Structure 1
Amino acid sequence: MNEPKKRILLISCFFYPQNRIPVLRIGQWAKYWASQGHDVTVLTTKKYDFMGPFGLKEKLPKEVTVVEVPYLPAWLLKRIKKSGKQGQDTIPAETSKTEARSSTLHSKVRSLRNHIGSMLDIHDLWVAPAYKAGLRLLALDHYDVIVSSYSPPATHVVASKLKKKHPNIIWFADFRDLWVNNHITSAKGIFKLFEQAKERRTLHDRADAIITVSRPLAADLQSRHPTLPVWVIENGFDPQEFPTWVQSVSAGQQLNGTITICYAGTIYPNRRDPTPLFNAVNDLIDAKLISPNKVSIEFYGQNERELNEIIQRTRANRHNIIKIKGFVNRPASLEAQRKSNLLLLLESSEPGAKGMLTGKVFEYLVSGTPILAVGIDNTHAAGELLEKTGTGFCSTDTEELKKLLLAAIESNQFRFYRPRKDLIAKYSREKQAQSIIDRLRALQGAPSC
């Protein structure tokens, strides 16, 4: 039977053409909801130049309408543009000084975030104009559901205010990662009390359900919001972007005596830290168990300064095994992953990171390339997933990594790689988008398809 189409208001600060992993979860939900016959309106931030990198393109169905809302005051925008112009006009030596100052400022902001958490985010300026834009949309059309996706907190705050004004609309609050208890930007002391109060005030008596990406994150959210349903809808992959994934994971790999290791993502010193792998490879070379030309570790991403700091501190590139490729567009990143022999996944071993399950993991799953997760074990959501699907190996120990790499070079294969295609298929974005619609229909009292 034909079910009536739904009208969905999707609220996210991240959206195309930003080349950011969070865009994929939201953008692909929007695409598949539209392809399933629903109307989708995306309420998002105006994409200012400083919000890059850009270049992530997706041909969205005509049923997807994107509403970008400006939010920076004119004086601030003028100052940002002036700063950018000055940066373009500086000579190389001055540019280096500018980059150094920028890095210092970035480090100070990160340090501050370790105390204040999500408080005082620039996207807070977006709340008022986005709320007004949302009210205009709800006045023009009937919407069945609002889906807002964290981070930043502004998305949920806007959704909460709209729900208060229109209490009959259903609201699903999606958490790609945690607001309170975030393992990277977790507030401390009195700021944590403020953060907890803001999250509770935003969600309490307004959200109809919470969505998150893993069971550990779901347990954390449920403990703070015991009256709300909390659903796990993991990150996933787009089957249209990876049409030959079944063949890729079935093909198997031969190493031919060499290993190219690829990391595509963000580096966080002392959290997402590749040092154990660096130590393992260098120890093997120092012991003359492998030749330096047998191993190459390639990094794709924006955190070149942080990575260089780690390398210099540990003398990790004394054998010239580390190649820093910098930021590349998505097709180039996926091609690098496909050509590699081993994909590196980095995550923190601290308890607060046990529930982290980023979109990058699922991109790796369908690559057809074995995955090495450093810093975690199978008690972490990502480690459990890799073990369950037969696609990866987890380690926190340098000696264990040495044995793994040496055995792989000697046998020309990673013996742990036995992918379960039936389990991998469950993480299709298309199926996940349909799952949310089914839950919406259940709340509305209609049978699911």
Structure 2
Amino acid sequence: MEKVLIITYYWPPAGGPGVQRWLKFTKYLKDFNIDPVVYVPENPHYPLLDPSLEEEVPKHVEVVKNRIFEPYSLAKIFSKKETQQISSGIISEEENQNLIEKAMLFIRGNFFIPDARKFWIKPSIKFLTEYLQDNEIKTIITTGPPHSMHLIGLGLKEELNIKWIADFRDPWTTIGYHEKLKLTENSQLEHKELERRVLHKADHLITTSFTTRSEFREMTTTPVTVVTNGYDLETVPKPEMDRKFTVSHIGSLLSGRNPQNLWKAMAELIAENAAFSEDFQLRLTGSVGEQVLETIRKAGLSEHLELNGYVSHRQALKLQRSSQMLLLIEIDSEETKGIIPGKIFEYMVSQRPILAVGPSGADIKRIITETNTGKFFEYSEKEQIKTYLLTSYEAFRENNLTVHPIGLQKYSRKALTGELAKLL
């Protein structure tokens, strides 16, 4: 059985979507004759915690830890709120940023390149050079963000000429928040040069979206393969369905994910349809930006809004399966076309219809359409959104709101691990 070292920052008890991709891959790799070893920080700063995920770490997986210096732990001394927001990926729009947030973003963008985990790069290269040789491991996988993980891979490649696969859960310089980091021209060039070196030096690149694959293929001759995120057959008891017409979003709603026409469509239906007003509930579970909340309240949805905050992955699954409809919202920009949130796959097997809003040409539209799991709309399509909501509500009233998915099997975690195994 071949050993493979996986270098990742996020690992249980970390919460959020970043941890689940490789937690699930390690669960199934042994079925394909691959023995995973996972390298993680010993003392990380995780913005979200979900201790329940520790129960899912396979017993056969060896986890190797090494200490890390975390600047976010120092930043908390000056401003706990802004530190928590930025480390969670929630960045306010320019006009709503206070001086502390502006200063922290400038420091984060220009002094911590590629990210705040940069201080783990050199110690990890030194530690792992000896570890890999002692344990006769010939293949490594780095997964980012944080993209410092890829620089660890780059250093090991140059030191040992080891086989190296770089897994990009999100893009690097084209990710939505990159332009908000107040980068100087020199910092922008440094990011691009580091990205270029990683893309050229890795033996194989993995992306989670088709758009990012296309972007990378224009930048390098290194082979690029799409291995999306997926769903697992979770053993969560089927919950009782909500009695209200609950439309739920599970996960972070960053300030840029703010489809005003969606909120307006909901508000108009409430004003025009007494029954809809009586039954409708908007449920947001996870971190929500203040600007998003302000827009929702201005639309007149306060009385219909339920805010839950962050919940465990297990509880998130229950909320998905008990809701009447599920919201999937992506930022309306060219840079986010290739973002495929991990939750879309859990949405698809929840047997609840998806209402997705995002940019023109989004990869999520392709997946939702192919699997027949809901409808996708662009930000401008208020009347179409309104019609879909009303049609879905009428089906709910008739106890007939459901979906009939097709072709989901290829997105199962085990099937995707098989695709990964072929690269190894």
Residue of structure 2 aligned with 1:195, choices 182, 191, 194: 191
Q: Cα deviations across residues 136-180 of structure 1 (Å, max 9, x unaligned)?
A: 21121111311111101110000111111111x211111111012
**1:273 maps to which residue?**
258
Q: Tell me, yes or no, if the aligned pair for 2:44 and 2:68 is still in contact at 8 Å.
A: no
Amino acid at match of 1:365: M
How far apart are residue 386 of structure 1 and its match?
0.4
Q: Are 1:172 and 2:165 an aligned pair? A: yes
- Whole-angstrom CA distance in 2 between matches of 1:321 and 1:404: 19
**1:428 maps to which residue?**
412
SS in 2 for 1:52: coil
Q: Are 1:43 and 2:33 an aligned pair? A: no
**2:54 maps to which residue?**
57
- Whole-angstrom CA distance in 1 between matches of 2:325 and 2:248: 6
- Whole-angstrom CA distance in 1 between matches of 2:170 and 2:259: 22
How far apart are residue 110 of structure 1 and its match?
7.9
**2:90 maps to which residue?**
none
Within-5 A mapping of 1:382-421: 382-396=364-378, 397-412=381-396, 417-420=403-406
- Whole-angstrom CA distance in 2 between matches of 1:292 and 1:66: 51
Residue of structure 2 aligned with 1:363, choices 346, 363, 367: 346
How far apart are residue 354 of structure 1 and its match?
1.1
User: What percentage of residue pairs aligned between the two structures are identical?
Assistant: 26
How far apart are residue 202 of structure 1 and its match?
3.0
Residue of structure 1 aligned with 2:362, choices 371, 380, 399: 380
- Whole-angstrom CA distance in 2 between matches of 1:337 and 1:437: 30
**2:85 maps to which residue?**
none
**2:211 maps to which residue?**
216
**1:323 maps to which residue?**
306
Amino acid at match of 2:7: I
Q: Tell me, yes or no, if the aligned pair for 1:370 and 1:414 is still in contact at 8 Å.
A: no
**2:227 maps to which residue?**
233
- Whole-angstrom CA distance in 2 between matches of 1:37 and 1:427: 21
**1:332 maps to which residue?**
315
How far apart are residue 41 of structure 1 and its match?
1.3
**Count of aligned positions:** 400
Amino acid at match of 1:8: V
Within-5 A mapping of 1:27-106: 27-48=23-44, 51-55=47-51, 56-72=53-69, 79=74, 104=98
How far apart are residue 46 of structure 1 and its match?
2.5
- Judged with a 3 Å threshold, the aligned counterparts in structure 2 of structure 1 residues 290 and 111 are, in CA distance, closer, same or farther, namely farther
Amino acid at match of 2:346: E
- Whole-angstrom CA distance in 1 between matches of 2:232 and 2:289: 29
How far apart are residue 307 of structure 1 and its match?
3.7
Q: Choose 58-67 or 389-398, whichever is displaced more.
A: 58-67
How far apart are residue 31 of structure 1 and its match?
1.7
Amino acid at match of 1:30: T
SS in 2 for 1:72: coil
Amino acid at match of 1:322: L
Root-mean-square deviation (CA), in Å? Answer: 3.1
Q: Are 1:297 and 2:282 an aligned pair? A: yes
SS in 2 for 1:28: helix
Question: TM-score by structure 1 length?
Answer: 0.80
**1:121 maps to which residue?**
115
Residue of structure 1 aligned with 2:202, choices 207, 212, 215: 207
Amino acid at match of 1:27: L
How far apart are residue 71 of structure 1 and its match?
1.6
**1:17 maps to which residue?**
13
Q: Tell me, yes or no, if the aligned pair for 2:257 and 2:292 is still in contact at 8 Å.
A: no
SS in 2 for 1:57: helix
Q: Choose 409-418 or 359-368, whichever is displaced more.
A: 409-418
Q: Cα deviations across residues 366-411 of structure 1 (Å, max 9, x unaligned)?
A: 111111102345x311111001100011113221111112222223
- Judged with a 3 Å threshold, the aligned counterparts in structure 2 of structure 1 residues 38 and 299 are, in CA distance, closer, same or farther, namely same
SS in 2 for 1:26: helix
Q: Tell me, yes or no, if the aligned pair for 1:6 and 1:38 is still in contact at 8 Å.
A: yes
- Whole-angstrom CA distance in 2 between matches of 1:383 and 1:68: 39
Q: Choose 59-68 or 321-330, whichever is displaced more.
A: 59-68
Residue of structure 2 aligned with 1:149, choices 119, 143, 168: 143
How far apart are residue 185 of structure 1 and its match?
1.7
Structure 2, unmatched stretches of 5+, are 82-96
Q: Tell me, yes or no, if the aligned pair for 1:172 and 1:210 is still in contact at 8 Å.
A: yes
Which of 1 and 2 has greater Rg?
Answer: 1
SS in 1 for 2:246: strand
How far apart are residue 363 of structure 1 and its match?
1.2
- Whole-angstrom CA distance in 1 between matches of 2:257 and 2:416: 28
Amino acid at match of 2:6: L
Amino acid at match of 2:301: N
- Judged with a 3 Å threshold, the aligned counterparts in structure 2 of structure 1 residues 394 and 219 are, in CA distance, closer, same or farther, namely same
- Judged with a 3 Å threshold, the aligned counterparts in structure 2 of structure 1 residues 144 and 410 are, in CA distance, closer, same or farther, namely same
Q: Tell me, yes or no, if the aligned pair for 2:241 and 2:323 is still in contact at 8 Å.
A: no
Amino acid at match of 2:309: G
How far apart are residue 48 of structure 1 and its match?
3.6
- Whole-angstrom CA distance in 2 between matches of 1:150 and 1:228: 18
- Whole-angstrom CA distance in 2 between matches of 1:289 and 1:356: 37
Q: Choose 341-350 or 392-401, whichever is displaced more.
A: 392-401
- Whole-angstrom CA distance in 2 between matches of 1:200 and 1:62: 37
**2:336 maps to which residue?**
353
Amino acid at match of 1:108: K
Q: Cα deviations across residues 163-221 of structure 1 (Å, max 9, x unaligned)?
A: 11111x211111111012112224764433221111112332x2111000121110101
Q: Tell me, yes or no, if the aligned pair for 2:43 and 2:68 is still in contact at 8 Å.
A: no
